[in-house]
């Protein structure tokens, strides 16, 4: 079935690759025109909080509750918010906790998204083999299309 209105997720992490991915995601979103407004979700996935144990009397606060968070958040989402505003694209910015690949794929399923846009990791062959990469995991396991931007 042909749907002109798309739901697109872009992974944000503040790297130059994610900035390129953000620009490309905005371009993809704006292609649908004003009649069929597509939706764009910019998602930052932070490492999950460790489970508190009985030895933790003062568990760490989530990163979003730490001093200076708003400035960090503004820096991380700056490019996607700026480009989206210039292109008149509606943007929803989200911060999630957990494994980046798993959280992005889970959100794509929950929101019934059509495309996940991610930046290439930029890791060398050896690091990518040992550690894996978010873009590789998503491209192998996502239920929707994946657009990897280099």
| Domain interval for residue 102 | 7-49+62-133
Specify the pLDDT at position 1: 40
Q: Is residue 141 in a domain?
A: no
- Higher per-residue pLDDT: 102 or 60: 102
Statement: residue 144 has pLDDT above 70? yes
- Domain containing 114 — which CATH number? 3.40.50.620
Q: Is residue 138 in a domain?
A: no
Q: Is residue 97 in a domain?
A: yes
Statement: residue 53 has pLDDT above 60? no
Q: What is the pLDDT of residues 86-128, one digit of tens each?
A: 999 999 999 999 999 999 999 999 999 999 999 987 555 555 5
Q: Is residue 129 in a domain?
A: yes
Statement: residue 23 has pLDDT above 60? yes
- Domain count across the chain: 1
Cα-Cα-Cα-Cα torsion 19, 21, 22, 27, nearest 10 degrees, comes to: 130
What's the pTM? 0.83
Q: Is residue 81 in a domain?
A: yes
Segment 29-46 shows an average pLDDT of: 84
Statement: residue 149 has pLDDT above 60? yes
Residues 40, 10 contacting (CB under 8 angstroms):
yes
Q: Is residue 139 in a domain?
A: no
Residues 119, 15 contacting (CB under 8 angstroms):
yes
Specify the pLDDT at position 67: 82
Across 44-65, b (16+ Cβ under 10 Å) vs e yields bbeeeeeeeeeeeeeeeeebee
Query: Residue 146 to residues 6, 64, 98, 143: CA-CA distances in angstroms?
Result: 13, 28, 20, 9
Specify the pLDDT at position 52: 57
148 Cβ contact list (under 8 Å, min separation 6): 118, 119, 120, 135, 139
């Amino acid at each position: 079935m042909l749907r002109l209105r798309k739901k697109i997720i872009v992974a944000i992490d503040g790297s130059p690759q994610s900035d390129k991915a953000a620009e490309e995601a905005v371009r993809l979103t704006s292609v649908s025109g004003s009649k069929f407004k597509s939706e764009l979700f910019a998602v930052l996935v932070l490492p999950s909080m460790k489970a508190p144990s009985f030895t933790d009397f003062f568990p760490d606060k989530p990163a979003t509750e730490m001093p200076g968070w708003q400035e960090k958040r503004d820096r991380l989402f700056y490019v996607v918010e700026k480009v989206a505003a210039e292109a008149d694209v509606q943007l929803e910015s989200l911060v999630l906790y957990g494994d980046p690949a798993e959280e992005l794929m889970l959100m794509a399923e929950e929101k019934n998204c059509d495309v996940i846009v991610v930046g290439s990791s930029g890791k060398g062959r050896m690091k990518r083999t040992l550690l894996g990469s978010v873009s590789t995991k998503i491209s192998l396991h996502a239920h929707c299309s994946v657009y990897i931007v280099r």
